[in-house]
Amino acid sequence: QQQVKQSPQSLIVQKGGISIINCAYENTAFDYFPWYQQFPGKGPALLIAIRPDVSEKKEGRFTISFNKSAKQFSLHIMDSQPGDSATYFCAASIRSGTYKYIFGTGTRLKVLA
């Protein structure tokens, strides 16, 4: 019940296309869902995060869509660029808890020039 399932494992998108990464969770106590971007040899960097009281959040080319009833959330990268090529991790946590995150397994995105 503590798992966060992430798909796809890898993704190849043409430059200018839309990249979509999906995550699903079981624990309804989760109330905070961040996405992280990680480049090789670097630590993860927070991209965007959402709380379950909203269904969508947009920051620049990055959008999170959240479906509370389906217990799913997804990251959309619009106008994908080669510089977006990285590994993306979704996560879930309980805000009133220990700050502990449950991470998805990661998606390796490659954007072709």
Q: Which stretch binds another protein (CB under 8 A): 15-23, 59-67, 69-77, 103-111?
A: 103-111
Rounded CA-CA distance 1/27 in Å is 6
Rounded CA-CA distance 25/68 in Å is 10
Structure tokens at 106: 């990661």
Minimum distance of another protein from residue 63's CB (angstroms): 19
The mark string for 48-87 relative to another protein (x by CB under 8 A, - otherwise) is -x--------------------------------------
Rounded CA-CA distance 4/83 in Å is 26
Residue labelled with tokens 């220990």:
98
Rounded CA-CA distance 85/111 in Å is 6
54-59 CB contacts, 8 Å cutoff, 24+ apart: none
Task: Tell me which residues in 5-34 interact with another protein (CB under 8 A).
Answer: 32, 34
User: Of these, 5, 14, 18, 45, which contacts another protein (CB under 8 A)?
Assistant: 45
Q: Which stretch binds another protein (CB under 8 A): 18-26, 57-65, 70-78, 104-112?
A: 104-112
User: Of these, 1, 41, 53, 113, which contacts another protein (CB under 8 A)?
Assistant: 41
Minimum distance of another protein from residue 26's CB (angstroms): 17
